[in-house]
Amino acid sequence: MKILTKKKYDNGKREIYFLNRKIFSYTNWKKYDINYGLINYANLPEVELKTIKNSADEKITIIYPVYYEHNNKDSFVNRIKEYDNYSQDTKKRLKIIIVDDCSKYPITIPDVNLNITLLRIDKNIQWNNSGARNLGACYADTEKIILADIDWLIPEENIDICLNSQIPDNSFVVFESYFPDGTTKGTIHPNIYCTKKQTFLKYGGYNEKFCGFYGEDIFFRKKLLKNDVTFIRPKLKIIGLAEGFKEHSLSRNIEKAQKLLAKNIRINNEGNILQYKWHFVEEKRYNIME
């Protein structure tokens, strides 16, 4: 029998034993797996959402945070114009909120016939995707919202499913990731959801004290799990761009997230969200074509 032994855990915890009796423990944050304790959405059972009767009045808002360090916004313009090709019935029930997260060269709305609103955050906070999502969710005036990233398209048939289906309270619907050619990536996006606005706000939105470094959305997912939120997998698709957006070159170093998680920091919201100044920029309304 060894006199000294060590046990290792995925959360970075280390325990030292002397003659099988624990005498010391510590956390090695560099060994912390930031996905520790999270649900693998791909393991969720596939379910069908319950259809709403007489759902013609249902509306939904897609929230897109956007941040550019350069002035070539062709990929952004092309993405928004893809929604302009959807049917009249979908477009009159769909709203899009773009939150410009203080891009160096401000975003403008392309020439499209859509219900689309542009907001802009006044302070350049690195990795403020979560704060921008909070703003979009608060500004939305529809019961259902989709929290998304601009490099992902929500196909029309899947928007229609969300529009015409019940989204249960205290639940977040997840999306399957696909390539533009229609083939599956075999993954589920970890941070794109359809939910109710009231559900999102019930849990305080994203905690903005974790903004400013890469991986801040992980704290939101861990918070949802601690509050027994239900995740639903109804085989809805999202389509990624083949070439990617390449909007910026911000560091994707995960060390700050690792350190905080390894310390078992409190993840529930403390204080208010929208801890920055922002302003309304412009809005377009869908004009029904006769």
The string of pLDDT tens digits covering residues 92-115 is 999 999 999 999 999 999 999 999
Q: In whole angstroms, give the CA distance from residue 218 to residue 189.
A: 12
The string of pLDDT tens digits covering residues 125-163 is 988 999 999 999 999 999 999 999 999 999 999 999 999
**For residue 248, pLDDT beyond 80:** no
Average pLDDT over residues 166-190: 93
DSSP H helices, 109-215, are 129-139, 156-163, 197-202
Query: At 270, is the pLDDT very low, low, confident or very high (cuts 50, 70, 90)?
Result: low
* DSSP string covering 33-58: -TTTT---GGGSPB--PPBPTT-TT-
Angle CA 181–66–186, to nearest 5: 30
**For residue 244, pLDDT beyond 70:** no
Burial class (CB in 10 A: 0-12, 13-18, 19+), 21: exposed
Query: At 237, is the pLDDT very low, low, confident or very high (cuts 50, 70, 90)?
Result: very high
* DSSP string covering 178-197: E-TTS-EEEEEEEEEEEEEH
Per-chain mean pLDDT for the chain: 91
Query: At 12, is the pLDDT very low, low, confident or very high (cuts 50, 70, 90)?
Result: confident
Q: What is the pLDDT of residue 1?
A: 64
**For residue 264, pLDDT beyond 90:** no
For residue 219, give the nearest of 173, 260, 169, 271 by alpha carbon: 260
Tokens 């029904």: give the residue: 288
**For residue 44, pLDDT beyond 70:** yes
Average pLDDT over residues 237-245: 76
**For residue 46, pLDDT beyond 90:** yes
